[in-house]
Structure 1
Amino acid sequence: MSSYKIEAGTAQHIGNRPQQNDRVALMTGARAPGYVLAVLSDGVAASAGAEQVLHTAKQVFDDFKPGDRPTLQRLEQVLRDIVQETHLVINMNAVTTDKQALASFVGLILSPHGEAVWAHVGDSRLYHFHAGECKARTGDAAYVEHLVASDRLPPDAARNHRKSKLLVNLLGNSRKDPFVTVGHQSGLAAGDVFLLCSDGLWHFFTDAELGAATSRGTPRQASEMLINKAAERSQGKGGNCSMAVIKLARPAQDAGEPGAVRRII
């Protein structure tokens, strides 16, 4: 079992948009004691896609029964199932409502065995820090390589047009299945921090700034500082801003079972 406690929280700000289209949640599995799922989704132009992401994530995670110790590949498959099932439901709903919903996805599973697995679609991001240093970050490099291989685009063309191409790599796109990138880390310890965030946050910060903010303060303190600073740097023109901060901390001597979630926000 893990030798740390989890301090975690979520935060959102509407920015200068008329409505909040991001959705973010922390979940524990009904049949998976000690496992934690963090999910963040940015709905494009509306919140329906992001709402469906969270709804499907809860259903899939509640059905997950890990057994003694699932492989990292099985944990990855849980996240892939959330993506594929959400994508299918959104497209089915589009047929009946005649309205297309699109959404990004970033998800993280923490196991009680000191393991983390994450998956990512679109322009929301996951960061993994240790002692303030960025150890991993999701991005579009793998998707650019996929475009070169599958669409036979010249590498320079794929890189030059990656922003427009990324817009179609979303859950709910009826013309193309989502391209999922995955990552994992074993041997987690106190001092590790994970940040899930929408582009309304990460657009305004360097990796080093995000690492320093999330490592020094509590999830609540980090969230408040980052939201305030994002609003300042956007000069009142920032979009929806959402995040989940998950910190692994040393348990107090009288703390409860290691790996239990302490929700800060």
Structure 2
Amino acid sequence: MISQFTSKGANKIINEDAIETLIVDDGLLCILCDGVGADSDPEVASRITVSAVKNLFDASDKTDYLERIKDTIIDANDFLVKYSHQKKDNNQMTTTLDILYLKDNFAYWGHIGDSRIYYLRGNTLRLLTKDHTLIQKLIEEGFLTLKQAINHPSSHILLKALGKDNPEPDLSKMRLNNFENHRFFLCSDGISSLIDDSELQQIISNKDFDSIQNNIISLVRSRGAIDDYSFILIEKVNNGWKENS
């Protein structure tokens, strides 16, 4: 089961997020990007990155899918940097990037930036990625508490993003058993900045995908939809995936 949605923020002119899901090598490839608004043409950065990732991953013949994701991210980064240099203004273009690939009994993912990948097993939601932000670094080093980090003025500062030198993505994989269904949730920070993990867990635990989508959209909008907001929700079952919306 797959549900996906993207929308510009309430006061935004252009949606700087981009998402894509497609079948590659009989597995499901999910891509989510959030163009960095402080840099040049963020909406272009996210869209061409999704397109580049899709084509690069599909064209690769590597059967080590974590290595394929790593190579795809490195090559997509090179492409985005070169594209930036060819523009008239020569200004840097950057975007977050999350790639999730589900095939057979494994999940593989690559991550850079502050978009997120969550995993729901049973009724327990787990964050699989770590935000590459100044705030996260300050929390880890003990300079900020989680409470102090909420609405911090530096929350938008990214330490890593695609489009910079040496992207150094986080990469990981895990085995999925055959006895349970497995849900994954990818989202941009337009959602994670407005809905906390405990709320997400309650929402995503709902069995009905339409209700999940409607609840997320309603909650984001009721809280101002400050930024563009996008998500991909997948439930992996033994017979694969079924498109929901």
With the shorter chain as reference, the TM-score category is 0.7 to 0.9
Q: Greater relative contact order: 1 or 2 (C-alpha under 8 angstroms, separation 6 or more)?
A: 1
Taking structure 1 as reference, are residues 183 and 89 closer, same or farther at Cα in structure 2, changes over 3 Å only?
A: same
* Aligned residue number for residue 186 of structure 1: 175
Structure 1 residue corresponding to 2:9, chosen from 8, 15, 19: 15
Task: Give the corresponding residue for 2:226.
Answer: 238
Q: Give distance in 1, aligned partners of 2:210 and 2:122.
A: 18
83-92 or 209-218, larger mean C-alpha shift: 209-218
Residue type matched to 2:49 in 1? V
SS at match of 1:209: helix
Match of 1:101 in 2: 93
* 1:179 Cα offset (Å): 2.4
Alpha-carbon offset, residue 155 of structure 1 = 4.3
Q: 1:63 to 1:201 in 2, by over 3 A?
A: same
Instruction: Name structure 1 gaps, 5 residues minimum.
Output: 1-6, 149-153, 252-257
Letter in structure 2 aligned against 1:225: N
- Equivalent residues of 2:8, 2:229 under 8 A apart: yes
Aligned partners of 2:192 and 2:177: how far apart in 1?
Answer: 24
- 1:204 pairs with 2:194: yes
1:111 aligns with 103
Structure of greater Rg: 1
Distance 1:120 1:166, change over 3 A: farther
SS at match of 1:127: strand
Structure 2 counterpart of 1:239, one-letter code: D
In structure 1, C-alpha distance between the alignment counterparts of 2:126 and 2:142, rounded to whole Å: 27
In the alignment, structure 2 segments of 5+ residues that lack a partner are none
CA gap 1:166/1:188 in 2 versus in 1, 3 angstroms = farther
Q: How does 1:26-65 map to 2 (within 5 A)?
A: 26-29=21-24, 32-33=25-26, 35-45=27-37, 46-65=42-61
RMSD: 2.7
Shift of 1:226: 0.4
Matched AA of 1:187: L
In structure 2, what is the equivalent of residue 247 of structure 1? Answer: 235
Q: Distance in 2 between matches of 1:194 and 1:136?
A: 10
Same amino acid, percent of matched pairs:
20
**Distance apart, 1:81 and its partner CA:** 1.9
- Bigger drift between 237-246 and 52-61 goes to 52-61
Please state how far the C-alpha of 1:166 moved relative to its aligned partner: 5.3
In the TM superposition, 1:39-188 aligns within 5 A as: 39-45=31-37, 46-65=42-61, 70=63, 74-97=64-87, 98-112=90-104, 114-140=105-131, 155=141, 167-173=158-164, 176-188=165-177
Say which of 212, 216, 226 aligns to 1:222.
212
The CA distance in 2 between the partners of 1:20 and 1:132, in whole Å, is 32
Post-superposition Cα deviations, 1:78-116, rounded to whole Å, max 9, x if no partner, equal 22122111111111111110232110011101012x110
Offset of residue 197 of structure 1: 0.1
In structure 1, the partner of 2:242 is: 262
